[in-house]
Structure 1
Amino acid sequence: MRIRYMLLHAYGMGGTIRTVVSQANAMAALGHDVEIVSVIRRRDRPQFRLDRSVALSTLVDQREGVLTDSLGRKVWRRVRGKIVPYGEFAAAYFTERVEKAAIDYVSSLDEGILVTTRPALNLISARRAPSGVVRVAQEHMNLNAYPETLRREIVRHYGAFDAVSVLTGTDRRDYQRLLPDTPVVRIPNAVDRAGRVPSRQEHKVVVAAGRLVAQKGFDLLIPAFAAAARRHPGWRLRIFGTGPKKHELTALADRQGLGDRIALMGRSPRLHEELARASVYALSSRFEGLPMVMIEAMAHALPVAAFDCPTGPGDVLTDGIDGLLVPPEDVDALAEALGRLMAERETRVRLGSAAAVTAAEYDPEIVMPQWERLFAELLTGKPAGDGFRSAS
C-alpha cells in the first residue's frame, strides 16, 4: 500500500506528531510504502525517530523565518478561496503561502491513501484531493472542543472522506450524530510499553506533563496539589513541558508558599524515567482528545487522579478501579483525590497495578493491525467494516 501521512509540522514535539510517526513506522515495518509530508519545517531534524524506510518531505521550509506572502489576503480569498477557518487552533500557521502549498500538494495526488491529521489539513483534503485518492481524516481532539465556526465546516465537508477516525468511543458517537452518512471509526493511539519500569512507590512525587497552555489546566492543578500537600508533608509536584504559560504558572506556584515542592521542569528527554520514579500521575486538562501521557504513566503502574473532562480520561479510566476521576475543573475534588493517593500507599499500588493492565489495551500489537485492516478495506472500495463502526 502507498500511504501518505500529512502533518502540519513533523519536526515538532507534540503528541499528535509522536503518534503519527509511530504509526508511519509501524506501517513501514509491515512492508508498506510510507511517506510523511510536513507542511512546514522549523527544525533541522525530526524530534522523533523515523524508520529508515519512511520518506520525509517538506512543503514550506521556515527554518530561516516565515516569509511574507506574495498574495494579498483579498486576492487569495477571491482567486484561490481560503479553506482553513479562523476557529482552527493552528489557523495562524496557515498563511496564504502555507495554505497554497498544502492545496497544491493535495491536488497533485492521483492514487494511494492520504491520511490528514488535523482539521485544517482534513478540510484541504476533503475539498481538493482527487477522487482517485483514498482519504482518511484523523481527529486527535474531541469534537466539542472545537468552536462552532469549525464544526460547521466539518459538517459541510467531512462527508467527502472514505473514513473519519477518532480516538474514543464518546467522540465516535458525537461524530456519527453529526455525520450520519460518513464512516466514523474508533482507533486509539498506541502506547509502546516496551522497557517500561513500573513505579515502586518509593518517592513522594506527583507528576504531570503537557504543553503549558490553558487546555492542560495546570493553573488548576497547582492549587489542588498545594491544598493536598499541606496535609501531607514531603510530597512534591513536578510538571514537565514548555509553553506560553510558563511565567504565569511559575508565579502561581511561588504564591503557594511551598518552596521547591512545586517545580516546572521544562521538557525532558527522559520522561519515562521520571514517570518510573513518581508515585502519582495528575491530569488536570479542561479538555482532551486521548491523553497519551496519562496512558504512558499507567503503563508505569502509576495511579491517576484526573478531571473527568471531555474526552479521554473517562474513556480510559474506571473510577476507583484503575484511577480516580473527579468533576471537571473542580479544584477541591482534585485536591481530595490527590490527598487520598498521598495518604494511602495500598490504594496507589492497587490502582496502579490495574492501570498497567488497562494500558496494555493500547499496545501497538493491538492497535496497528486495525489501521492496516482499515486501509486494506478502503483500497478495495469497501466501507469501513462493522467492527470499526460499532467499536466503543
Structure 2
Amino acid sequence: YVYGLHEFLSAWDGVITSTEQQKQDLTQWLGGQPSVPILTISAAIVSKQQAQHAPISISERHAHEIIYTGRLDAERRVDQLVTAFDQVHHKITDATLVIYGYGGELDRLKQQVSQLHLETAVTFAGYQPNLTMAYDQAGAYVYTGESDAQPLSLIEALSHGVPAIAYDINYGPKDVLKDGKNGYLVTDGAVNQLVRALTRTLESPQRQQRLSKGAYRSSEQYSDEQVWQQWQPVVQ
C-alpha cells in the first residue's frame, strides 16, 4: 500500500488501521498532518456468543499444553518456539506443544523436533477450520511472529481464557498483554525470556488460573459492541 498512500492519498476518503500505534506511525510517516483522516478500528472481534461463554478453569484444561495457531512460515519463527519448548520440557516434563497450521516451514520444523527428540511431546495438528476446542483445552498460547497488523489468534486465545506469551513486536501484542495479568510480553527474539515466561505460566496452577481470568477480562475490549463503536465515524 506504500505507493497508493504516498502518491494517491488525497483521492481516498480515509485510512483504517488495526491499532493505535499503527495510526501514530502512519501519521508520522505522512508528515504529521495527513490530508485524509486515519482511524483505528480493531480487526479482531470477540463475538457476543464467545463473550458470554462460561469460563473454563485451568483444572478443566490440559494445563501444561502450549499451543501455536497460524501459518508455518519463516516470518512466524515457530522454530524459536520449538527451541524454547525444548528447555521448558526439561523443567516441566509433562509439558506438550501442539502446533496448528500449515506452511513452507512444516518439514523443517518436524526435522527440528526430531533432532531434539521431542516427537512424543510435540504434535503437528495441521489446519483446523474450528479451533474452539483447541483454545478451550489449552494452558498457554504463544505468538512468535516478527511483525503483524494485529495478531487475530492472540485475541482469540485470550477470549477463550488462554494465558498468552508473545514477542513485543509491531503491532498488537503490547496493546493487550500485561505482564502477570493475562500473560507475558517478552523482548522480540529473546528465546531465554520466552522460556522463563512459559515456565512461569505453567509451573503454578494458582498463577495460571489468575492469568486465565485476566485473559477473559482483557478480551472484553474487543467485543463486537466495542468494535462497532469504533466503526461509527465511518458509517454515520
* Helix, strand or coil at the partner of 1:259: coil
Aligned mate of 2:93, from 201, 226, 233: 233
In the other structure, the counterpart of 1:183 is 37
* Helix, strand or coil at the partner of 1:194: helix
* Helix, strand or coil at the partner of 1:325: strand
Residues 199 and 257 (structure 1), Cα distance of their counterparts in 2 relative to 1, 3 Å cut: farther
Number of residue-to-residue matches in the alignment = 227
Residues 198 and 299 of structure 1 are in contact (CA less than 8 Å); yes or no, is this contact kept in structure 2? no
Aligned pairs for 1:209-358 within 5 A? 209-358=69-218
In the other structure, the counterpart of 1:51 is none
Aligned pairs for 1:92-107 within 5 A? none
Aligned pairs for 1:8-23 within 5 A? none
In the other structure, the counterpart of 1:106 is none
In the other structure, the counterpart of 1:198 is 55
Q: What are the superposed Cα offsets for residues 142-169 of structure 1, whole Å, 9 maximum, x if unpaired? A: xxxxxxxxx4553222332211010111
* Helix, strand or coil at the partner of 1:230: helix
Q: TM-score, normalised by structure 1?
A: 0.55
**Which AA in structure 2 matches 1:255?**
Q
* Helix, strand or coil at the partner of 1:224: helix
Q: Partners in 2 of 1:316 and 1:157 — Cα distance? A: 33
In the other structure, the counterpart of 1:368 is 228
* Helix, strand or coil at the partner of 2:117: coil
4+ runs deviating over 4 angstroms: none
Q: Partners in 1 of 2:132 and 2:48 — Cα distance? A: 10
RMSD (Å), alpha carbons: 1.6
**Which runs of 5 or more structure 2 residues have no equivalent in the other structure?**
none
Q: Partners in 1 of 2:91 and 2:48 — Cα distance? A: 34
Residues 67 and 138 of structure 2 are in contact (CA less than 8 Å); yes or no, is this contact kept in structure 1? yes
Say which structure is richer in helix. 2
In the other structure, the counterpart of 1:38 is none
Q: Partners in 1 of 2:56 and 2:139 — Cα distance? A: 6
Aligned pairs for 1:65-214 within 5 A? 119=1, 151=2, 153-179=4-30, 180-181=33-34, 182-189=36-43, 190-195=45-50, 196=53, 198-201=55-58, 202-203=61-62, 204-214=64-74
Q: Partners in 2 of 1:223 and 1:375 — Cα distance? A: 47
* Helix, strand or coil at the partner of 1:191: coil
Residues 225 and 335 of structure 1 are in contact (CA less than 8 Å); yes or no, is this contact kept in structure 2? yes
Residues 299 and 157 (structure 1), Cα distance of their counterparts in 2 relative to 1, 3 Å cut: same
How far residue 326 of structure 1 moved from its aligned partner, in angstroms, is 0.6
Q: What are the superposed Cα offsets for residues 111-160 of structure 1, whole Å, 9 maximum, x if unpaired? A: xxxxxxxx3xxxxxxxxxxxxxxxxxxxxxxxxxxxxxxx4553222332
Q: What are the superposed Cα offsets for residues 333-391 of structure 1, whole Å, 9 maximum, x if unpaired? A: 10111111121111111112111111011111121243244132xxxxxxxxxxxxxxx
Aligned pairs for 1:14-93 within 5 A? none
Q: TM-score, normalised by structure 2?
A: 0.90
Residues 88 and 95 of structure 2 are in contact (CA less than 8 Å); yes or no, is this contact kept in structure 1? no
Residues 318 and 160 (structure 1), Cα distance of their counterparts in 2 relative to 1, 3 Å cut: farther
Residues 257 and 327 (structure 1), Cα distance of their counterparts in 2 relative to 1, 3 Å cut: same
